[in-house]
Structure 1
């Protein structure tokens, strides 16, 4: 009798759910309901090298033409530090996060306060908020 095995791969975003139930729906076109959910799905897309989703979820006014992946950089963990606004009835929100990575095998992390806005009824990433409170321009 053959044994049934089921592989459940944890989502890179760190919420503790299987990828198929967590960020995969967003990557396949289902719009996240909150700015934080979009942030988590974008992190997962970076971790999975899904450049198409990263660009698609970026506001067209601030989106770069391309993204270059570093083959030596691996995203290995995400901590949401603070989330304000960004709910179902909000027009914008801010999510502060710490993303952990390994670059050439050496651990590191980055912290960013990100602004998210509604565009055509869906949450999109606008860009980072700089230390002085201004928005970065591309």
Structure 2
């Protein structure tokens, strides 16, 4: 008997453990909108990993969005850990997601601990701003 055929799974970089196509992929590809603040947070992390400045700007609240942004090409993202969520569900209008994102820049480890605020604009979740616990 031959070996069983196995489909390659492209695990999402957001740390959910799911296949990218069933996780952040549809949001990043523009075929779906994130249903929760946490899903948007995870997809924004994936956008940082993939260098998707367009997605980051498109999912940023109009009132706080910068005119442009430039990601550091030397920054390598290592992982995302969601610490807590507050509201931000499918039926909410606002929500918070606390997370830690780890990266490395020119050999130096970087740890970003943020409590991000999200809200709905035109029915879609957007990032508003963040606080930095312990800073």
CA distance in 2, matches of 1:44, 1:131: 22
SS in 1 for 2:91: coil
Aligned to 1:98: 100
Alignment of 1:11-26 (within 5 A): 11-26=12-27
SS in 1 for 2:27: helix
* Distance verdict in 2 for CA 1:130–1:105, change over 3 Å: closer
Alignment of 1:39-50 (within 5 A): 39-50=41-52
CA contact 2:113–2:132 (8 Å) conserved in 1 = no
Q: TM-score, normalised by structure 2?
A: 0.89
**Which of 77, 80, 90 is residue 78 of structure 1 equivalent to?**
80
Aligned to 2:119: 117
CA RMSD of aligned residues (A): 1.9
Structure 2 residue runs without a partner (length 5+) = none
**Which of 61, 64, 81 is residue 62 of structure 1 equivalent to?**
64
| Count, aligned residues | 131
Aligned to 1:136: none
Structure 1 residue runs without a partner (length 5+) = 133-138
Question: Shift of the alpha carbon at 1:21?
Answer: 1.5
CA distance in 1, matches of 2:83, 2:6: 36
Question: Shift of the alpha carbon at 1:90?
Answer: 0.9
Which digits, 9 at most, give the CA deviation of each residue in 1:64-107, with x for residues without a partner?
A: 11111111111110000110000111110000000010111332
